[in-house]
Structure 1
Amino acid sequence: MSEEPISYDAGRIQVLEGMEAVRKRPGMYIGSTGERGLHHLVFEVTYRAVNDVLAGRAGSVGVTLTPDGGVRVADDGPGVPTDEAGGDSGPGLEALLTRTEPAAGYAGRHDVTAGFGALLFVANALSRRLTVEARREGVRRVQEYACGVAVTPLTDAGPADGSGTTLTFWPDAEIFGDAECSFEGLADRFRELAFLNRGLDISLTDRRRSDEPRSVRLRFPGGAPDFVAHLDGQAGADVQGEVIGFEREDPRMAGTLEVALRWRGSGEERVRSFANSRPTPGGGSHETGFRDGLAAVVNAYARGQRLLTEADPDLDAERIGEGLTAVVSVKLDEPRFEGSTRDRLGNSPVRACVGQAVQEHLGRWLAEHPERATAVVGRIVRGARRD
């Protein structure tokens, strides 16, 4: 074996840019080249359309898994601008599909991408074929790409029937192998988005198997309380009583909050938290504020009703959370995420805002529903004493 040292200088550094970088290292952009990565592509393409709905520019989004392995995402918005400068609804078509940093920046609390993640150009780069149809200002324009490169010019294809954008892509088998999208996995994420955004109307259709077509339309005007009811239903929980829910806008955190919760008779705690519709399994300031407020109001009620004596210690978070199902959602103008996976919210003012809102709204509910309140808090106290 040679003892000659290996030198690393600038000449040995390989710099990859644009489409080449995405295709060479896809895992850096979408996490994996399996099912999870495929879902990431579908979500990123769909989020553009969802943002148009939440901004009031579109009414609905439809996602279809096609028989030939493609994914079609269609909306009835204004249509992606086809000129280089773009327009009010975002950057132009070419910028969206071929640039790593499109001209449009983060769109605030109604941007479900939370300002980061793979952009449309990643889906384009990792697709063996991609077609786009923009129906805008009475004209229908189409273009086709292969592995991120335009193979046809942007072409006028006649008058448009309405407005909107339809983007269809076929993931490259050389990158993803035989991985396939899961209908249930996609539906779960779209269902979350529909629960967290009352105005969203999104459908998912699976036409990959002619003998087993599936379709689901997701729209939940009830918001987070509907989400809590769904989580309880999924678990087959035996529940009684209403879901407690409230919303508030708070300028101190430059955003809005929505909280819904219900205690079941028993069982493990199920708390789901979100920031700008993004799941935050690592928790963060919004979830901490929720737990602060919950502990404060439950302990205050228990002592006010003399369910706890002066000698009793406060009820801890674990005991209060037993049998609890809750959804905590905040939407911020400038969310800040922490950790390598960005799964934890770091905006410090959010903690106090959420905690105060929980104390006020849950405290009011406990006062207005004394029979139900005594049953819930009494059960928590009895459980603590058994321990």
Structure 2
Amino acid sequence: MTESGNPGQPVAVSEYDASHIQVFEGLEAVRRRPGMYIGSTGERGLHHMVYEVVSYAVDEHLSGHADAIDVTIAADGGIRLRDNGRGLPVEAAEPTGKSAVERELTDLSFGTRPCTGYGVSGGLSLGLSVVNALSSRLTVEIHRDGHRWTQEYAKGIPVTPLTRNEETREHGTEIAFLPDADIFETTRFSYETLSQRLHELAFLNGGLAISLTDERPVRPVRHHHADGLLAYVAHLNPYPPSLVHSPAIGFGSENEDRTLSVQVAMQWNTWSPGEFRSFANNTRTHEGGAHEEGFRTALTSVVNEYARRRGQMSADDQDLTAEAVQEGMTAVVSVKLAHPVFEGSTRTRLSNPEANTYVQEVVRRHLTDWLDHHPNQATAIIRHIVHASTGHGKW
């Protein structure tokens, strides 16, 4: 097991080839019922197309092979995305004889992609093949194996073979696509929507630089946060005079077989009722689930135990409620699992019971340790919570 205050450094794994692609079925069903695959044919589904491509680049970062992603809203309204990872595999695969990249772009599949140090990948849907199927035009350019490779598609169908071009020492993948106007209600991407999500991903993946450029008006932005979730909490807590304590609390851990990891950052303030954001495999879990339940359970227990141990609560006092403990608390919890299970078609509630158990274990151990090593800040936090509980009449 590896633990640190600034977790999330993955183990680099170099193997990534045609054998990693598992075929499910063809793409006709995607064009017939796109909402089943990307949620809707409105703005939400349109932007999900970008997130699906970005998730592949994030996986390269998680595997230790990429540290930069460049996203561009092109002048023609399409999207162009480039990463500096290994590049999608180009070798032919049996028994079809198709190149691995063509299979990735035309077969409805869950490509396990690069195996990360956690045994997880960021994408939660069906990948590049869905984006290809729903685009009137898609081109892929790969720098791998000493050459530049290119191929073009139209509505999911290859219109050129995979072509080996000039030699190069570069590495990475560039995908450009234009959403099909016959499928989507709108094909105009929102700069603000994309920027918000990419900024979020930069927080969740410390050390990964993500840039966004809009060629419609020229307005580039670059997100890069070495401190990860600590920087995220600082972003959500923009008023230093209102902070109950500083620094913020941050910790993380991963299990022994690296199939489950958790990162946590939190800080109390006096200016807001509090804000809690949770993520599973880089996707916002708006409806919460097992990881949120584990966090809230452990948080309430640790705060009550510490307050009694330090004499800020007597044996006769009632326990501080979960509501009081979370008053004014800004927190971000991010878990990554090898086999996430989500409830509902929106996939916004995590169901894995092991996430509840592991998050509880990590929070109990690390939060208790932080409070013990920061007695002045801990005293201020407990005083704030007791005051909040008295004001709400719940203690």
Q: Same fold (TM over 0.5)?
A: yes
Partner of 1:78, secondary structure, is: coil
Which structure carries more relative contact order (alpha carbon 8 Å, separation 6+)?
Answer: 2
Q: Show structure 1 runs of 4+ deviating over 6 A.
A: none
Amino acid at match of 1:318: E
TM-score, normalised on structure 1? 0.86
In the aligned structure 2, how far is the partner of 1:102 from the partner of 1:291? Answer: 33
Alignment of 1:244 with 2:253, yes or no, is: no
Q: Give the conservation status (yes or no) of the 8 Å contact 2:77–2:189.
A: no
Match of 1:65 among 59, 69, 73: 73
Q: How far is the alpha carbon of 1:70 from its aligned partner?
A: 1.3
Amino acid at match of 1:113: G
Q: Give the conservation status (yes or no) of the 8 Å contact 2:121–2:338.
A: no
Q: Give the conservation status (yes or no) of the 8 Å contact 2:119–2:259.
A: no
Partner of 2:265, secondary structure, is: strand
Q: How far is the alpha carbon of 1:140 from its aligned partner?
A: 1.6
The residue number in structure 1 matching 2:278 is: 273
Give the alignment of 1:202-213 within 5 angstroms. Answer: 202-209=210-217, 213=218
Q: Give the conservation status (yes or no) of the 8 Å contact 1:294–1:358.
A: yes
Alignment of 1:333 with 2:338, yes or no, is: yes
Give the alignment of 1:1-387 within 5 angstroms. Answer: 18-85=26-93, 92-101=100-109, 104=112, 107=115, 109=118, 111-114=120-123, 116-160=124-168, 162-209=170-217, 213-233=218-238, 238-240=242-244, 241-251=246-256, 254-386=259-391, 387=393
With 248-257 and 213-222 compared, the bigger mean Cα shift is at 248-257
Deviation digits for residues 29-80 of structure 1, max 9, x if unmatched? 1111121111111111121122112212223211111001111111222222
Q: How far is the alpha carbon of 1:227 from its aligned partner?
A: 0.9
In the aligned structure 2, how far is the partner of 1:339 from the partner of 1:173? Answer: 28
With 104-113 and 123-132 compared, the bigger mean Cα shift is at 104-113
In the aligned structure 1, how far is the partner of 2:340 from the partner of 2:164? Answer: 40
Q: How far is the alpha carbon of 1:274 from its aligned partner?
A: 1.3
Highest CA radius of gyration, 1 or 2? 1
Q: Give the conservation status (yes or no) of the 8 Å contact 2:60–2:114.
A: no
Q: Give the conservation status (yes or no) of the 8 Å contact 1:244–1:260.
A: yes
Q: Give the conservation status (yes or no) of the 8 Å contact 1:275–1:332.
A: yes
Q: How far is the alpha carbon of 1:259 from its aligned partner?
A: 0.9
Partner of 1:173, secondary structure, is: coil
Q: Alignment length, in residue pairs?
A: 362
Deviation digits for residues 4-35 of structure 1, max 9, x if unmatched? xxxxxxxxxxxxx7332222211111111121
TM-score, normalised on structure 2? 0.85
Percent identity for Structure 1 against Structure 2: 46
In the aligned structure 1, how far is the partner of 2:66 from the partner of 2:389? Answer: 51
Alpha-carbon spacing, 1:291–1:214, altered in 2? closer, same or farther (3 Å): same
Unaligned runs of 5+ in 1: 1-16
Unaligned runs of 5+ in 2: 1-24
Partner of 1:131, secondary structure, is: strand
Alpha-carbon spacing, 1:244–1:85, altered in 2? closer, same or farther (3 Å): same
Q: What is the root-mean-square deviation of aligned Cα atoms in Å?
A: 2.3
Deviation digits for residues 205-226 of structure 1, max 9, x if unmatched? 11123xxx11111111101111
With 193-202 and 290-299 compared, the bigger mean Cα shift is at 193-202
In the aligned structure 2, how far is the partner of 1:248 from the partner of 1:24? Answer: 43
